[in-house]
Amino acid sequence: MTSKPTDETTTSSAVESVTDLERLRDRPDVQFHDETECVDSELFETLEGLDDMAVVGVTNGDGDVLLMRVTEECARKLPTPEVGPGEDYAAAARNWVESQAGLAITLDSLEGVWCHEARLEGTERTTTRAFVVFGATPGVDEDGVVETTAEHPEAHAVGWFAELPDDAAVAPGTRLFFE
């Protein structure tokens, strides 16, 4: 008898929870990428203070991908909420897309994990930042209309794109949705 991992519960193949990235490392259905680079003290201190990220590739029925600008100044990008220590990556992804883009979504797949380790040059000191990438679809009602969750989404601009714009910000895993 096989049991499901407790950090990744599925219902109708939807991803419900992701909290323990190490449990995903050896799963054959999850791409796991490790990258290490030596950095100077200024960059190390910056990276050390950053949270992990959930990257959400929301694809509609036409194959277009949701990109958004959270503020007027930022570039278009896939939804990318911060995930603090001990938080659930899947819950952060769903909640953020619902509040920022105003869309109900289903997380359909766990596309991969990108772990970036920074080593402070000349030392053994390291800090790691992870990007967990999900594939998702918008929720639709019985008439096939995309379900919204907020009358006034918080994002500055939200749109559907067939191709990745040249000026888009590219988080790890972004290109998976534009192949």
Residue 38 has pLDDT above 50, yes or no: yes
- Report the C-alpha gap between 134 and 59 in whole angstroms: 11
Residue 12 has pLDDT above 70, yes or no: no
Is the CATH code 3.90.79.10 the one for domain 39-178? yes
Q: What is the pLDDT of residues 91-130, one digit of tens each?
A: 999 999 998 988 999 999 999 999 999 999 999 999 999 9
Residue 6 has pLDDT above 80, yes or no: no
Instruction: Give the side-chain half-sphere CA count within 13 A for 92.
Output: 22
Kind of pairing, strands 82-83 and 65-69?
unpaired
Average pLDDT of 4-18? 59
Higher pLDDT, 100 or 2: 100
What is the pLDDT, as a whole number, of residue 156? Answer: 83
Longest dimension (CA), the chain: 61
Residue 63 has pLDDT above 90, yes or no: yes
Instruction: Give the side-chain half-sphere CA count within 13 A for 146.
Output: 18
What is the pLDDT, as a whole number, of residue 13? Answer: 58
Residue with tokens 């989404």: 153
Q: Using a pLDDT cut of 70, give the percent of the chain over it.
A: 91
- Report the C-alpha gap between 105 and 103 in whole angstroms: 6
- The whole-model pTM stands at 0.87
Question: Which residues does 22 contact at the CB level (< 8 Å), separation at least 6?
Answer: none
Using 50, 70 and 90 to split pLDDT, how confident is the model at 17?
A: very high
Among the listed residues 106, 100, 109, 107, the one whose alpha carbon sits nearest the alpha carbon of residue 140: 106
Is residue 128 within 8 Å of residue 49, measured between CB atoms?
no
Find residue 54's DSSP bridge partners.
132
